[in-house]
Amino acid sequence: MTKKPFNGVIKLDVRDSKPDWGPFTLPRAPEGSPNVLIILYDDTGLAAWSPFGGGINMPTLQKLADNGLMYSQWHTTALCSPTRSTFLTGRNHHLNGCSCITEGAQGFPGWSGRLPAECATIGQVLQD
């Protein structure tokens, strides 16, 4: 993907600057690209969902479960940054440097709050 050049002007004062609101073209996946569906739920657990006996009605997920497809293999934490880093990289939050919320990052292995270069994101993997 090539980066579009900025065609505006940036000055010290925003009133003297000119934004770049050129036409937007919706990107399209190359022919033959795989279909990928990502489902992200926040502040819920599978025990609350109807396919697993919970009270939250999830008809589409229930339909998948009725046909034998159960999404039940994942790991999460009680903190947003570690959970999101795990979602982005597919790696345990201790391995991808995000063991705590970003604001609490420290200069120790697993606690830097920065994704190491060897942790590709889902976007990078799908692009390759």
What digits encode the pLDDT tens for the residues 21-51?
888 788 888 898 888 777 777 667 778 889 9
What's this model's pTM, rounded to 2 decimal places?
0.55
Helix (H, G, I), strand (E, B) or coil at 49: strand
Alpha-carbon distance 13 to 98, whole Å?
Answer: 37
| Identity of the highest mean pLDDT range in 11-20, 92-101, 114-123 | 11-20
pLDDT, averaged across the chain: 85
Query: 1 vs 107, which has greater pLDDT?
Result: 107
- Give the pLDDT confidence score for residue 106 in this predicted structure: 83
